[in-house]
Amino acid sequence: MYAIVVKICTSIALLLLVAASEDDIKPLAGNKIVKIVALFNENDDSVNQLAYNVSAKIVNIMDTVLPKNRIVQRSEYVVNDMYNVTRVVCDTLKLGIAAFIDGTDDEDVENVIRSISTRTQIPFIETHWKKFHRPPDPYSINIYPDPSLLAQAIRDIILDMDWESFTAIYQSPESLIRLKALLMHFDYGQKAPGKSIKIIQIPPTDDFRPLFKELKLSGEKHIILDYEVEHITHILGQAEEVHFMGDYQSYVITNLDAHTLSFEEFHKSMANITLIRLIDPENQHVRNAVEEIVFNEQKNGRISVLSPNTIKTKTALMYDAVNFFATSLHGLVATQTMGPTRIACDDIKPWVHGYSLINYMRVMELNGLTGKMRFDAETGNRNYFKVDVVRVQESKKHRLGSWDPLEGMTLTRSASEMNLEFAQSITNKTFIVVGKLVQPYLMRCNATEKGMDKDEECFEGFAYDLVEEMAKYNGFKFKFTTNQDYGTMQKTGKWSGMIGELQSMRADLAICDLTITFDRRNAVDFTTPFMTLGISILYAKPEKKKPQLFWFLNPLSFSVWMYTATAYLGVSLFLFMLARMTPFEWELPHPVKPGDNTMENSMTLLNCLWFSIGSVLCAGCEVLPKITPNEWHDPQPWKDGNNELETRLNVANLIWFSCGTMLQQGSDISPQAVSTRLVAGMWWFFALIMTSSYTANLTASITSGRLETPIKNVDDLSKDSNIQYGCYEEGSTASFFQRSNLSLYQRMWSVMESSNPTVFTKSNQEGVDRVLKGKGRYAFLMESSSIEYQTERNCNLMEIGNTLDSKGYGIAMPMNSPYRTLISESVLRLQESGFMRELKDKWWKVQGDNKCEEEDESDELGFTKIGGVFVVLVLGCLIAFMFSILEFLWNIRKVAIEEEITPKEALVLEWKFAMKCDGGVKPLRRRHHADMNSDTS
């Protein structure tokens, strides 16, 4: 409704303005004249006076405001001469005025007007901010935003932008009033050391290029400019000349008239320029007012370039001042009759209605060109206003949000809309990516094989593929450069290496095995980690055991073997002694011979020894080749006249014996007495335990292909004085040990620092080479992901223990980079899609013949591991054969003597019979001697 009324009144006003000038307008019958005076400087902008006049004319035409009164506006020009100012003010008082409006922005002129206004009780309307704090004036009201609230607005805008450091460049000391709340928030001059916040005063006529060069080298990216509007584009132009208007530089311009500037010359600049404004050019009230002013200029034959986008704050405030006075007076005259009084300076009599009018002004609200106005009832300062936050992008202005004292910072666009707009803005941008040549993250490749120019740098690796995938998704381009130093903080506070390149903004991204640490995070920004890891121990695998011929002896130590042998002999002798003592081990001989009244004991010393060993080895005792004469005996039962011997080792018995041996058939010599059986039982129990223990240890010993490592974890490493350990001297691993609060890691760091020669390396690869050359005498502390890569390619390396900490690799970028959110979202998307896992497998896993073979503990045993058992078997058989030959030859000698034949004949006879594999009966060649002995008896 209000807008319709305004449009109608505006149309009427335009028609009347064409027909009549200010002097031609006459008061209607019964209307009272109310005079107001505005004071301007002689060189003041004519647009301000024009807005003042047009506003008064529109009020006179509109019948909704002061329908029975007519405002007569008067303009006075003053110079900075207090006598002249006093004279002009006193002359206007004689005319009978109802209000003063200050349009000079001069503190001295303002003081003169305020002094006279207070004495005469005539309201004084100010249109500029108070540069100095002074006690409240009871008859003044300021429609300019309260400087303390404006300072809060600037503070909240900067905090909303997440600035942790900035440089404020200002023109005059009065500018610090607008920055006061911001500086107080950061405790400037107290807790803030001056490194993160700098305040610099430079006259606008000076050269800003050296300053911008210095700020660029220092890595500063956030600038606050507080200058008169006519100097701002000139300052920004100098910043662009030294390349300080890139996509990492951000400027906040605090001048409320900065929205009137054209940033067309910076349309190629990627700098983030933020403005604040009090006037909304899209507001219909603003558009109508501008049309009125432009139309009045055209009526007077002048061309005006004023537009809603170029109207200044002072112009709008002059327009609002008249409208504010008229509205206040309209509300007051509705309740009482009032009129101006002529006053002389030499005989001052206060205006009786002034007190009521000023009080009414302070409690009234009004929507003007500068938004809603609300005032403090005691001070008269404007305590409510709304400023728009505007971003300049490609020379166009986009409203981001607004601020007011009640709601604070309010964004008009959602975060997703802003991110989408930002994502579209980086299309076709070329990112400079710095990386370190370290496998497998970044490596050089053959340009011709990639279809590139042979002179062009060619890269490949995990980092390259990751950036390439993100570039495809987001539509940007990239170019890789290299730097072999991660970066360390210098004494000057600056960083070297890749971190230094990001700080100086020579690079946009840094990606490699760059760990996110506290110090680095304070220097640059990081994305979400694209890989999580921890510190672990890289160690050389123990060399494989050389195959030993008698490996089967390893399960038991030499002392155990000796104790076992001693126990065997002791038990055998003890069993022999008990067998001779007990009567139950003595029995009649088989067969029983006539007249024989003797008893025999089978548990002889040899049989006891054989029984004990047979119990251990679970082997039968019926096995000896039939070539030995001891296996031939008289048949059972023995018959008279029989001259043949027999043996049980026929072919069937040999087969049965072999099966019994495989099935662990024990000896056929069996104790009969309780005492001997008890000893035998205890011996069997001992043999069972020893055999089982031996079998278990033999399995572990034979199947284990490598020696055990002397260390299992970092605690073992710290205690083993024979193994040195170190790390990369400038990496995050060294920082971890250096700053750790755990006593174990502090002790390890002290050992590493005091080692001579040094245990630190210049690179991770140097550490890997040192581990290989050390052959178990050096361990290297390194990130687990790098260890995984090395162990995949070098089968002589292994990872020891669990990780000592948890950290991540991230993509680094300059502090407060506008691309941080976009790149982080890309990393998360690639992780969720599984691309990151596939990419790691591509560059970490080794395929084909170069892949390390996994050692299988259950592999079949080779002959080299158990060959000693066969050697023992063959040696035992050879020794038995040798004893058999000796027995055979000894028997030949006896046969030759007893049979009275030559040894050769005896040898032929015995050999022929032995070679017969059938038959278990042998002729008794010494029978006649037995008969002769019988006849003699």
Q: What is the pLDDT of residue 647?
A: 59
Q: What is the pLDDT of residue 599?
A: 75
Q: How far apart are CA 794 and CA 791, in angstroms?
A: 5
Give the domain range for residue 516.
420-532+824-835
Residues 191 and 222 in one domain: yes
Residues 688 and 790 in one domain: no
Out of 835, 855, 878, a domain closes at: 835
Three-state SS for 4-63 is HHHHHHHHHHHHHHHHCCCCCCCCCCCCEEEEEEEEEECCCCHHHHHHHHHHHHHHHHCC
CATH number at residue 622: 1.10.287
Q: What is the pLDDT of residue 227?
A: 93
Q: How far apart are CA 887 and CA 885, in angstroms?
A: 5
Residues 485 and 557 in one domain: no
Q: How far apart are CA 796 and CA 544, in angstroms?
A: 10
- What 42-46 contacts at long range (C-beta under 8 Å, 24+ apart), as own/partner pairs, is 42/77, 42/78, 42/79, 44/77, 44/103, 44/104, 45/312, 45/314, 45/315
In 10 A of CB 636, how many CB atoms? Answer: 9
Residues 679 and 563 in one domain: yes
**CA dist 757 → 760, 764, 810 (Å):** 9, 18, 34
Tokens of 671: 């104790």
Establish if 929 belongs to a structural domain.
no
Residues 655 and 767 in one domain: no
Tokens of 215: 């700020």
CA 342 from chain centre, in angstroms, equals: 77
Q: What is the DSSP-derived secondary structure letter of residue 370? A: T
Residues 433 and 359 in one domain: no
Residues 722 and 696 in one domain: no
Residues 131 and 174 in one domain: no
Establish if 21 belongs to a structural domain.
no
On the 0-12 / 13-18 / 19+ scale of CB atoms within 10 A, 259 is: buried
Total structural domains within the chain: 6
Establish if 220 belongs to a structural domain.
yes
Q: How far apart are CA 487 and CA 483, in angstroms?
A: 9
Helices (H), ranges, 582-673: 605-617, 651-662
Establish if 136 belongs to a structural domain.
yes
End-to-end CA distance of the chain: give it in Å, rounded: 162
The pLDDT averaged over each successive group of 10 residues in the chain (937 residues) is: 40 37 40 86 83 90 82 86 86 89 86 89 89 80 92 92 88 88 80 68 89 86 92 93 88 93 85 92 92 86 85 93 91 74 85 89 92 92 94 85 92 70 75 92 83 79 93 90 89 87 89 90 90 91 70 78 86 81 74 70 81 64 43 54 57 46 50 77 82 78 65 88 89 88 92 91 91 90 90 88 89 87 91 92 82 60 64 73 80 80 80 66 54 44
Establish if 9 belongs to a structural domain.
no
Q: What is the pLDDT of residue 63?
A: 77
Q: Please choose, from the candidates 275, 297, 244, the residue with its C-alpha nearest in 3D space to the C-alpha of residue 396.
A: 275
Establish if 167 belongs to a structural domain.
yes
DSSP 678-742: HHHHHHHHHHHHHHHHHHHHHHHHHH--BPPPS-SSHHHHHH-TTSEEE-BTTSHHHHHHHH--S
Q: 644-646 and 600-601 as β-strands: parallel, antiparallel, unpaired?
A: unpaired
Residues 619 and 745 in one domain: no
CA 800, 803, 806 angle in degrees (round to 5)?
A: 165
3-class SS at 416? helix
Sign of CA dihedral 73, 79, 80, 81: negative
Residues 318 and 199 in one domain: no
Three-state SS for 795-854 is CCEEEECCCCCCEEECCEEECCCCCHHHHHHHHHHHHHCCHHHHHHHHHHCCCHHHCCCC
Q: How far apart are CA 191 and CA 179, in angstroms?
A: 17
- The C-alpha torsion from 642 through 647 and 650 to 654, rounded to 10°, is 170
Residues 696 and 567 in one domain: yes
Q: What is the pLDDT of residue 625?
A: 41
Q: What is the pLDDT of residue 158?
A: 92
Residues 525 and 556 in one domain: no
Q: What is the pLDDT of residue 151?
A: 93
**CA dist 496 → 170, 337, 502, 504, 625 (Å):** 32, 79, 10, 10, 87
Out of 703, 720, 741, a domain closes at: 703
Q: What is the pLDDT of residue 794?
A: 87
Helices (H), ranges, 395-481: 415-425, 462-474
162: left (phi over 0), alpha (psi -120 to 50) or beta: left
Q: How far apart are CA 770 and CA 790, in angstroms?
A: 13
515 φ/ψ angles, rounded to the nearest 5 degrees: -80, 140
Q: Please choose, from the candidates 347, 369, 353, 380, the residue with its C-alpha nearest in 3D space to the C-alpha of residue 94.
A: 347
CATH number at residue 398: 3.40.50.2300
CATH number at residue 789: 3.40.190.10
Tokens of 577: 């002694």
Q: How far apart are CA 372 and CA 658, in angstroms?
A: 114
Out of 673, 703, 733, a domain closes at: 703
Establish if 27 belongs to a structural domain.
no
Helices (H), ranges, 161-283: 176-185, 209-218, 229-241
Q: Please choose, from the candidates 47, 42, 40, the residue with its C-alpha nearest in 3D space to the C-alpha of residue 313.
A: 47
Establish if 196 belongs to a structural domain.
yes
Tokens of 915: 């070679």
